[in-house]
Structure 1
Amino acid sequence: MSANGNAALSWLEERPTLPAGVTWGVPWKQGELDRNEPLKLRGSNGESVPVQSWPMAYWPDGSVKWTAHAASFQADLEDGYTLEKGHGVPSTAGLTVKEAADYIEVDTGAIVCRLGRSGTSVIREILIGGSAVCSDGKLVGMREEHHATSGKKTIVEETLQGVIEKTTVEQNGPIRAVVKVQGRHQAPGGGRKWLPFTVRFVFHAEQASIRIVHTFLYDGNPHQDFLKGLGIRFSVPMEGPLFNRHVRIAGDTGWFGESPKGLMTFRLPERQRELYERQTAGASISLDEEQDAGLQALLDDSPEWGDFKLVQSSSDSYTILKRTKEGCSWIRPASGRRSGGLLYAGGEGGGLAVGARRFWEKCPSALEAAGLAGDEAVLTAWFWSPDAPAMDLRHYDTETHVLSCYEGADELRSTPYGVGNTSELTLWCCVSTPNHDTLDAMVREKESPPLLVCEPARYHETRALGLWSLPDRSTPVKSQIEDTLERLIGFYQDEIEQRRWYGFWDYGDVMHSYDPVRHTWRYDIGGCAWQNTELAPNIWLWYMFLRSGRADIFRLAEAMTRHTSEVDVYHIGEYAGLGSRHNVLHWGCGCKEARIGMAGLHKFYYYLTADERIGDIMDEVKDADYATLRLDPMRAYFAKDEFPTHTRSGPDWAAFCSNWLVQWERYEDTSYRDKMLRGLACLKQMPHRLLTGPVFGYEPKTGELFFMSHENYGHHLMICMGGAQVWAEMADLLQDPEWDAMLTEYGEFYNLPKEEKIRRTNGALQGKDWNIPMLSTAKMAFAANRLNDGELAKQAWDFLLRSPYNWSVDIPLETQEVPRQEYVREIREIPWISTNTVSQWSINAIVCLALIGEYLPESIEPRVSV
């Protein structure tokens, strides 16, 4: 981090090769940046670059904590940039947003896009130089209803289209503009409106591309409303003879390129071959009336291939298909494994390229171009391909299995009603058919959108995302820990591929517990299948990115954030504000809790990218504590008596605090700060402060916690779901000496012998349910740091590095080969692996290195199992 506060920026991945609009976030130390101070962007060549800046969060003293920035880059991009205080050069690009009665018009200087305010056309049209390259962009879907009559199943299909209810300008230049369109889907001709959607269109000045972020929520009956298809459709004018119209479809490494009227016929004379080669390269050709008369006759007789599609049916298989017209069979020109997920279609007047991000990872997906032989082609990006079986969102059983499968509640509350899914697209408006190099660059840059990032040292020194350590290999033991942290990340990266943790509803999550006998994860054992943020793997991954700056870890954490913030939590309905505990299905567990979707899990991504959708989600959970009135998290243990509801100081109240902290820092809304302070005041009055409980009576209206009893639930759950990190951040922000002392007391008390716990509390605390010492090591480190207690610090390292309780990791970390016939393909495994263990060990190790690194032992002894 620069001594003068300037932020050095570099590209997360390779420098973009196409013109690019880029949005990113930068942290600041408390007191470093006044909200009225201007900022400027300078390239490594010293020249200023126009930049649009806005605040995202504030420190308690009113100074700026996070800023967001947008810039539009054309040619000659630099390898690095510097953000510094001062007035920069103004933008001359001329991005403008105009609001009319029935549409909103965004002019980037390269394209003009008109977005609808009502009806079904979310995109009215896109123009280049006054000519349309796209019109009538609409959301489409297919619903499949199953009926059982006389023992026979019949299927009824119904088409759907998105109906606009509200269009809002969220950001209005001068470099970046965002328009949000909201509505619901409906069958043509009327009927039920359902499947709420939010689609954001992101524009940058001088860019001919548009980023689209599409979110839908499921609000149907899973036993009746089977989604057969879901996507977005665009109409593209087709100009010129059929042989000058082109389609390009991304394959595994190269491109499928054809025309509705190819020049290949049963014979290929030299003159025809030359034209054919030019046509295949995407050039416009012309036929000589005399010289090519024979060819013209052959073309008049040749078939017209009007429809093309790419279907990614699984993470390992796609097919490219084409046909002449509706009512005729599809034929298969090519197939492969993993498509790049981009389709271009256009004629002599240009065309449209549509790129779907995470195309094969979020299978089944498809890209389709129909009607290329007519005046207007229709391009469809299918987030869920209608060529695949319909979504089946029903539970995997008709009952719950608490004892045998570690499912969380006797009530079967498995419902997808209210969960969401977000997909991303990029549109490029093209004046001609792109060449292969340009198409390759489109795939790279829609798949890994260009992002400027700071050095790890800046993220670390500003403390804007909490307390963690930078990598340190100054001693052999520190090197061993760093090696293990890296190998754990590498193991999960390999495991995602080995186990094919892909799919529309699954991509981004990992699994919970391993079965070394079947050599697979316990995918069918209720509470041991999908992780669903259990023990905060999100924080683990983001810490690993922040301390390394590695792009591969960023993309891993990004995918988990996008999934867990959408699929694992409820956005509408009875459980809005809560999420589902780990299960075979992401929404399958009867335990619906606030900690699963707490804002602190997602704010890393928001502040690094300024992603508006994540901002929405963090706002959604600000009042999640009220959801406990509808569903008491302790209903299985305590009757609803004199208290409105119950809450645990952790993970419930800690999750509420996480949500409130984000509201306070983003909007300076002191009502949420005060609600947090009210809870703190209650804890201070408890018989043994934070050691009390952890279950309390709770009043969401005021934030009051009420004493019930001592040791009434497991204390390890207070700190292992992200609570330890939330509370440490509160200590930093609130600067409350008593809160600091309470955290210190907790960390020092947790692993005391039972006899000492009894003595210190005059028998009030008997040492019941203070479990799994490793989970407490970050809090022990906090206490050891505050007390300057070397013995406590050494004990914390013992629990992390020599734990006999099997809640630690093997150092060195080794995988072993699975016998060939014992699994469906060759794999390697770690038989003891548990994502709970890995997440918490990594988080605690990273924090302990920051707080008590000087107390590390000289060597790491082998772990002893008990």
Structure 2
Amino acid sequence: MLSMKIAVQDRSGLAGPRPVTGGVPVREGAAPAGSAFVLHTAAGKGVPLQTRVLARWKDGSARWLLLDFATAVAAGGRADLVLSTAAPAAAAMPPPPSPGPALSTAAGGAAALVDGILEVGLELTLADGTLCHAVLGEPAVEDDGPCRRTLLWRGDFRTPGGARVCQVRLRGSSYAGTSRLRLEPLLLVDAADGILMHLRSLDLVVRPAGLTATGVRLGGEPGWSGPADGAVRLFQRDDESSELQGAAGRGGKAPGWAELRLGERTVAVALRDFWQQWPKSIGVAGGALRVGLFPSFQAGDFDHMEPWYKHAYLFSENCYRLRNGQSRRWDLWIDTRGDGAALAAAAQAPSLPAADPQQAIDTGVWDDIAPAGTPAMAEYDPWTRNLYDAYCESIRHERDYGAMNWGDWFGERQVNWGNHEYDTVNQLLIQFARTGDPEYFHTAEAAARHSAEVDVVHHVNADLAEYFTQNWPTKGYPPRPGMVHEHCVGHVGCFYPIETVRKLLVEHRIGDSDRPYLCLDPFNLGHIWTQGLVRYYFITGDAFVRETVEAIGDNLARLVEDGIYDFAIEDPHFGRAAGWPLLAMAGAYELDFDERYLKAMRNLVDRALARQDPHCGGWLYQLYPGHCLCTTRKHVGMAAFILSILVNGLSRYGQLTGDERIPEAVRRAVTFMTNDTWVEQRRGWRYTSCPGSAFHGQYGVIVMAMVNAVRLAGDPEHLRILRLAWEAKFDDLKKAPPPGPGQGKAYTGTIYGCPEAAGLLARLS
């Protein structure tokens, strides 16, 4: 039977009841198929509850459960509840409060109708000034329970003549007992031809239906209020400055809300992460509220944002540039009887349930880590919090914001957006699981949505496929959805001529070569992650993120099944070209335990084990110039971090399957790595097998490989080395690094493997 403690913490600064949505893990067998669930306050009072099983264990019992309920929380406080299983006949709960605002499709499919009083439409203006409207089909019902109803509209932007432009979606959720609802518009660039889509603007328009607006108020400092029949907007020019257009006034970080007066009723609208996703706008025109998701602008409006290679990729004259296959979503809230400031505060920090950390970890879905707050973690908890704070401070200091940037970090190789190398999302969500602190989740959420929407290829047309294959022909790897871009100028490339990017990297001495690797193609499998996205899906039930993971997993499985692509098996980068895909397919496998992924992983594992040297246990390759600077002859071996990635992929496969070959293969591989690159005096590892390569300390993926070796094989020498390395790493990072470009990579690369190492060493001690 299930009995799990649940906490809801307020981060909005508002007191009172609020809708709560989120997933919690359940240990195997605790909630068999057919179980009913009940929720009570700590005092034993029943709470109306809606549930949906997101994933099941192999015995059919619930593994992840999506909860919907409402609860009151004090400002800055928390509410404690208990989730339990009950026989269906005994699961009667108090009746839910009154239904939330009604959602339906307006006549003609051009808009969604809210409570019969508002029409919500989407308008896109092309580069030539053509105004296109979103034409929505009949909505699909995603959830329909006593606490939340969610509809999904799919459609297209079409020109006045009916020509299709690209895909649009709109997800709407209403919540019982509240006048608030959530809208999530999504733009997916899947044009039939062309590589870059140029658009002047994309607006979400909220029009009164059968009512006349009499007044408008825009939030912020200085803010504005006036009649609804004028044309005034607040324009967020960058992350630090905003201005009124059509009226006088300038400000800073605008809160992104507006109120529309309809007779005796006030309707409020708020866009989450308004200034973080600059440029943005919110205003009134002709009696309707207009939210500029990609607001119109004038050429030169953003020329002050330097360096050019960080921001300018998005803009061309007075247009935005989006690459085919990209998408972007926004999180907008409407209160049909609301207060704009309160709505914006709530939208900025939506409530979610957090399972008791010890109970969540005991389910087995979070690996063998230790919860925060225990005596064994007394030193580790402030240490890891300090690193997280430094990561967040670096985002602020470096101003890593923007319409397509928000959620990511900048500065990989000085000029690239990081695209969350080493799976920033996963590391943040592990901290959420350990602590139950929603701050970690909200930071992870921005990262997850960026990764799924911006960095993944969701569509490939003939023009984009030709661009990829002509510039980076890759045998056995046809361009298709599910490809993922690594760290890159502009996140996905194609915005600048290839020679422009090459010149940029040469000027910054990237790779110490006149032919540096440009990171512009999506064929590199050494930078692909799903584990964080899968966990984000389980915590939110976000269907688009699940769809994205399935596309990534399908692409990787097809690469293996086709049997043509070689995964760079004769290249010193094979370790990560196979290791990260192994971990990514393991993440996709977690969705439904689809055996297809295990079969594909088995194929890759077989290839890797066949290439492992039977004598020394390593994978031996002549090193590249960047991995060996010797001039008379290059050394043979592998970079320690690359070998570790392969070890981690093999280990995850072994954990999932119990393959008896894996423990010994991992033991031999880690023994090779320690013999080859471990520096006892400095308690860390060299970069590569070349004795002249730089000392790289205790990199996260190497620490994780040591943890996996100790878990699987139990070699005392590996444990001794892990302890030494951990002590050195812990001591070196008691003072967090200062903010600067690339700190996102430094944070994720550093923290990778740390929760697992801390948990393992605490347990063994």
Band of TM-score, shorter chain: 0.7 to 0.9
Describe the shift of the 1:669–1:428 C-alpha distance in structure 2 as closer, same or farther (beyond 3 A): same
Describe the shift of the 1:682–1:164 C-alpha distance in structure 2 as closer, same or farther (beyond 3 A): same
The answer to whether the Cα contact below 8 Å between 1:35 and 1:55 also exists between their aligned partners in 2 is no
1:139 maps to a residue whose letter is L
Q: Give unmatched runs, 5+ long, in structure 2.
A: 310-320, 461-478, 494-518, 622-634, 679-687
1:419 maps to a residue whose letter is Q
2:486 maps to a residue whose letter is R
How many residues are aligned here?
675
Residue 348 of structure 1 is matched in structure 2 by 263
The answer to whether the Cα contact below 8 Å between 2:202 and 2:294 also exists between their aligned partners in 1 is yes
Q: Are residues 1:561 and 2:448 paired?
A: yes
Residue 533 of structure 2 is matched in structure 1 by 602
Distance in 1 separating the partners of 2:563 and 2:390 = 38
Residue 126 of structure 1 is matched in structure 2 by 114
Give the secondary-structure state (helix, strand or coil) at the position aligned to 1:602.
helix
What does 1:435-454 correspond to in 2, within 5 Å?
438-454=339-355
String of CA shifts for 1:602-633, please: whole Å, max 9, x gaps: 12221122222212211221212267599998
Describe the shift of the 1:711–1:852 C-alpha distance in structure 2 as closer, same or farther (beyond 3 A): farther
The answer to whether the Cα contact below 8 Å between 1:236 and 1:346 also exists between their aligned partners in 2 is no
The answer to whether the Cα contact below 8 Å between 2:358 and 2:370 also exists between their aligned partners in 1 is no
The answer to whether the Cα contact below 8 Å between 1:456 and 1:548 also exists between their aligned partners in 2 is yes
Distance in 1 separating the partners of 2:58 and 2:403 = 40
Residue 32 of structure 1 is matched in structure 2 by 30
Describe the shift of the 1:770–1:320 C-alpha distance in structure 2 as closer, same or farther (beyond 3 A): closer
The answer to whether the Cα contact below 8 Å between 1:9 and 1:83 also exists between their aligned partners in 2 is yes
Report the alpha carbon displacement of residue 115 of structure 1 after superposing the two structures with TM.
2.1
Q: Are residues 1:813 and 2:740 paired?
A: no
1:844 pairs, out of 753, 757, 761, with 753
Residue 733 of structure 1 is matched in structure 2 by 656
Q: Are residues 1:163 and 2:138 paired?
A: no
Residue 366 of structure 1 is matched in structure 2 by 281
The answer to whether the Cα contact below 8 Å between 2:6 and 2:81 also exists between their aligned partners in 1 is yes
Distance in 1 separating the partners of 2:648 and 2:10 = 29
Give the secondary-structure state (helix, strand or coil) at the position aligned to 1:774.
coil
Give the secondary-structure state (helix, strand or coil) at the position aligned to 1:622.
helix
Describe the shift of the 1:189–1:854 C-alpha distance in structure 2 as closer, same or farther (beyond 3 A): closer
Describe the shift of the 1:483–1:174 C-alpha distance in structure 2 as closer, same or farther (beyond 3 A): closer
Give the secondary-structure state (helix, strand or coil) at the position aligned to 1:10.
strand
Larger Rg computed on CA atoms: 1
The answer to whether the Cα contact below 8 Å between 1:197 and 1:214 also exists between their aligned partners in 2 is yes
String of CA shifts for 1:660-679, please: whole Å, max 9, x gaps: 44444433433333333444
Distance in 1 separating the partners of 2:348 and 2:670 = 43
What does 1:64-75 correspond to in 2, within 5 Å?
64-73=62-71
Describe the shift of the 1:167–1:653 C-alpha distance in structure 2 as closer, same or farther (beyond 3 A): farther
Distance in 2 separating the partners of 1:140 and 1:391 = 22
Residue 88 of structure 1 is matched in structure 2 by 91
Describe the shift of the 1:487–1:73 C-alpha distance in structure 2 as closer, same or farther (beyond 3 A): closer
Report the alpha carbon displacement of residue 78 of structure 1 after superposing the two structures with TM.
7.8
String of CA shifts for 1:195-219, please: whole Å, max 9, x gaps: 3222211222343322112221234
What does 1:398-547 correspond to in 2, within 5 Å?
416-430=323-337, 434=338, 438-471=339-372, 474=375, 481-513=380-412, 523=414, 525=415, 529-547=416-434
Residue 632 of structure 2 is matched in structure 1 by none
Residue 102 of structure 2 is matched in structure 1 by 112
Report the alpha carbon displacement of residue 25 of structure 1 after superposing the two structures with TM.
0.8
The answer to whether the Cα contact below 8 Å between 1:342 and 1:353 also exists between their aligned partners in 2 is yes
String of CA shifts for 1:807-833, please: whole Å, max 9, x gaps: x98333156xxxxxxxxxxxxx46897
Q: Give unmatched runs, 5+ long, in structure 1.
A: 95-107, 145-155, 261-304, 322-329, 372-376, 400-413, 514-521, 639-645, 696-709, 756-764, 816-828, 857-866
The answer to whether the Cα contact below 8 Å between 1:543 and 1:843 also exists between their aligned partners in 2 is no
Q: Are residues 1:590 and 2:520 paired?
A: yes
The answer to whether the Cα contact below 8 Å between 1:774 and 1:796 also exists between their aligned partners in 2 is no
Distance in 2 separating the partners of 1:177 and 1:219 = 29
Give the secondary-structure state (helix, strand or coil) at the position aligned to 1:676.
helix
Report the alpha carbon displacement of residue 186 of structure 1 after superposing the two structures with TM.
2.0
Give the secondary-structure state (helix, strand or coil) at the position aligned to 1:386.
coil
Give the secondary-structure state (helix, strand or coil) at the position aligned to 2:732.
coil
2:91 maps to a residue whose letter is G
Distance in 2 separating the partners of 1:613 and 1:754 = 42
1:81 maps to a residue whose letter is L
In proportion to residue count, which structure has more helix?
2
Distance in 2 separating the partners of 1:78 and 1:225 = 46
Higher mean C-alpha displacement, 5-14 vs 85-94: 85-94
Q: Are residues 1:386 and 2:386 paired?
A: no
Residue 483 of structure 2 is matched in structure 1 by 578
Distance in 2 separating the partners of 1:473 and 1:82 = 21
Residue 516 of structure 2 is matched in structure 1 by none
Residue 625 of structure 2 is matched in structure 1 by none
What does 1:770-785 correspond to in 2, within 5 Å?
774-775=698-699, 776-785=702-711
String of CA shifts for 1:218-268, please: whole Å, max 9, x gaps: 34688874221112212114757x8xx33222215x8644445xxxxxxxx
Residue 3 of structure 2 is matched in structure 1 by 6
Q: Are residues 1:212 and 2:183 paired?
A: yes
Give the secondary-structure state (helix, strand or coil) at the position aligned to 1:545.
helix
Report the alpha carbon displacement of residue 687 of structure 1 after superposing the two structures with TM.
5.5
The answer to whether the Cα contact below 8 Å between 1:141 and 1:229 also exists between their aligned partners in 2 is yes
Describe the shift of the 1:21–1:838 C-alpha distance in structure 2 as closer, same or farther (beyond 3 A): closer
Distance in 2 separating the partners of 1:548 and 1:694 = 42
Distance in 2 separating the partners of 1:550 and 1:78 = 11
Distance in 1 separating the partners of 2:279 and 2:350 = 22
Distance in 2 separating the partners of 1:356 and 1:831 = 29
Distance in 1 separating the partners of 2:528 and 2:742 = 24
Residue 467 of structure 2 is matched in structure 1 by none
CA RMSD, aligned part only? 4.1
Describe the shift of the 1:754–1:717 C-alpha distance in structure 2 as closer, same or farther (beyond 3 A): closer
Give the secondary-structure state (helix, strand or coil) at the position aligned to 1:32.
coil
Give the secondary-structure state (helix, strand or coil) at the position aligned to 1:444.
helix
Report the alpha carbon displacement of residue 365 of structure 1 after superposing the two structures with TM.
0.7
Distance in 2 separating the partners of 1:499 and 1:417 = 28
Report the alpha carbon displacement of residue 570 of structure 1 after superposing the two structures with TM.
0.9
Report the alpha carbon displacement of residue 447 of structure 1 after superposing the two structures with TM.
1.0
Distance in 2 separating the partners of 1:854 and 1:26 = 25
Residue 556 of structure 2 is matched in structure 1 by 625
Distance in 2 separating the partners of 1:226 and 1:787 = 55
TM-score by length of 1: 0.69
2:54 pairs, out of 47, 53, 56, with 56
Distance in 2 separating the partners of 1:348 and 1:605 = 42
1:331 pairs, out of 236, 239, 247, with 247
Q: Are residues 1:232 and 2:232 paired?
A: no
1:387 maps to a residue whose letter is F
Q: Are residues 1:138 and 2:121 paired?
A: yes
Describe the shift of the 1:85–1:166 C-alpha distance in structure 2 as closer, same or farther (beyond 3 A): same
String of CA shifts for 1:431-468, please: whole Å, max 9, x gaps: xxx4xxx4332111111111111122223222212233
Describe the shift of the 1:561–1:691 C-alpha distance in structure 2 as closer, same or farther (beyond 3 A): farther
The answer to whether the Cα contact below 8 Å between 2:664 and 2:713 also exists between their aligned partners in 1 is no
Higher mean C-alpha displacement, 666-675 vs 68-77: 68-77
The answer to whether the Cα contact below 8 Å between 1:249 and 1:310 also exists between their aligned partners in 2 is yes
Describe the shift of the 1:503–1:809 C-alpha distance in structure 2 as closer, same or farther (beyond 3 A): farther
Describe the shift of the 1:198–1:632 C-alpha distance in structure 2 as closer, same or farther (beyond 3 A): farther
